[in-house]
Each structure stands twice: as structure tokens, then as C-alpha cells.
Homo-oligomer: A and B are copies of this chain.
Amino acid sequence: MEKVLVFGHKNPDTDTITSAIVYAHLKNATGIEAEAVRLGELNNETKFALEKFGFEAPRLIGNVSTEAKKVILVDHNEKQQSADGIEEVQVTEVIDHHRIANFETAEPLYYRAEPVGCTATILNKIFKEKGVEIPANIAGLMLSAIVSDTLLFKSPTCTEEDVAAARELEKNAGVNVEEYGLAMLKAGADLSDKSLEDLLSQDAKEFGMGDYKVVIAQVNAVDVNDVMDRQGELEELINREIQEKELDLFFFVVTDILNNDSVALALGKVALRAEAAFGVKFENNTALLKGVVSRKKQVVPALTEALV
């Protein structure tokens, strides 16, 4: 049987990378040859997690159709967030926690989505259902994913199931989640070695909202001024991207991981709609979004409501 590739979305984050590694491990443990791969560069948070639990980065791939016939998607389903060439291969499984859109198959498949904060929380269930034990280092990766996606349980996307899964995995992995988790988030929020191009692209996702083409990029920071002090250069880069990709809105969110607020920078021809979306005034293209930390649960629904 030919090897199946397992991967998450473009501009990978910790849940996407670790879930690919974890699910490939589970498939291999149940006798199905699988390899975790990635669609982009690792961020500092993910590097920290992989190093802590002794894993190498998955292999980077380009167009997937030259690599495999069958693939498994984790942590995403929308084709514009997936590998180039995705329409040429058969998606045999999806494990995800996002809305379903721009996704279609010719054949029946295994699709497992649950409205929880993190893919790892679903994977934790699947291990139990299959009766496969979770090794300590794999538990550590899963715990890292939950910490990352829920901002240490503080995001409104976090559910009771995520917290319960994290408590189980914490014991198994042999770390203190609060201590390890904050260290990992801080590693991710260390932006000192990042170019502005990196900041704009490392966690950028594209969305169709009605007829509008929107990119929402997010970075975590310990001090948002580390980023916002360079607003002029940022705007230059963003405006270039708006032109190249014909975007209607580029929404850049810098999230303060200690205070759990975000500062947003909105550019593009419908940028001012963000005022109605969040009920705040944007001055000099920016605004403080109090209590906003989740793209999925807070930013995407608010912008969709305002734009569609």
C-alpha cells in the first residue's frame, strides 16, 4: 500500500504541525504507512515545542500531487489553505475543528470535525477509541497544540473538553502546563529574529467573505509595541500585498499574550467596515480590540457580519 501524507494548513502553526506528526504516529501504530509533512516554515513557538519533546520538523513539500495519491488533512479543510495540487489527490481523511467550506470529494471519506478549541483534543479521543496508547513525547506535542490554540485556556475558543484533554496529557507528558505553556507562548512571541515579512505571513489565512477577498494575519507578542513601532514599514508591505493579491482587506492582529487583548491594523478598500465589526474607532488605521484574542471565534465572525 502506498504511503499516505498527513499535513495541516499553509503558514503552519503549532496545532497544524503537531497534529500532522501525532496523527501520522497513530496511523503507523494501526498499521497504515503515513508520513507527516508541512507546507511552510515553522514559527518559533512550534520550534520550541518540537525541541522540548525531541521531534524533528516534518519534511517540507511543495505541490502535493507530485508527492502522493492519498492524503489526510489535519486542522483545516478549505482548499485555499491547503497544499497546492490538492485537487489532484484523494483526501481520505480530515480531522479538523474549523467550519467546512470550499471542500469537496468524489468519494466517501473519514471526516471528523468537532467544535472544540484544538485538533489535538479530537486526536486525544481517537487514540482512546482505537485503544492506542499515547507515548509521553506525543502527549507533549498534543499538550503544546492545546496551549497554543487556546492561549493557555484563555481564548473563547477553549472548551471544557480542551481543558480536560490538556489535564490528561499534562500528566502523561510529565510537565506543568502553566509553566511549560507560558514558556512556549513566550518563545512564540519572541519576535526579535523576525523580519516584518515574516510577521505578516507566518500566521496569515485567506478568507472569502461574500464577494470580498480578505487576509487575516495574527502574531502573538509580549509587548505589542515591538511590532507597532514599525507601523510605517508594515503598511508599505501590506499595501503591496493588497495590490498583488487583489485583496479587499488585510487585517493584521497583534495579540498581547499577557493581557489577552489585541491591536488591529486594517488596510484595504473596506478597512473602515472594521469599525462597525468591532464597535471601535480606527485611528491611523489601528484600534485596540479589548478582550479579542481569537481569529476564529471573534475576528472572522465579526468581519463576516460587517462585510456580507
Contact = CB atoms under 8 A, between A and B. Distances in A.
A113 B111 contact: yes
A101 interface: yes
B98 A108 contact: yes
Interface residues of A, number: 24
A275 B301 CA distance: 49
A129 B130 CA distance: 11
A52 interface: no
A104 B101 contact: yes
- Majority SS at the chain A contact face: loop
A111 B98 CA distance: 10
A3 interface: no
Contacts of A112: 111-113
A101 B105 contact: yes
B99 A106 contact: yes
A43 B280 CA distance: 57
A273 to B, nearest CB: 17
A110 B161 CA distance: 14
A59 B111 CA distance: 29
A102 B100 CA distance: 10
Contacts of A301: 106-107
A110 B99 contact: no
A304 interface: yes
Interface in A180-227: none
Contacts of A102: 104
B100 A109 contact: yes
A107 B97 CA distance: 10
B99 A304 contact: no
Given A100-B100, A129-B129, A110 B114 contact: yes
Contacts of A104: 99-102
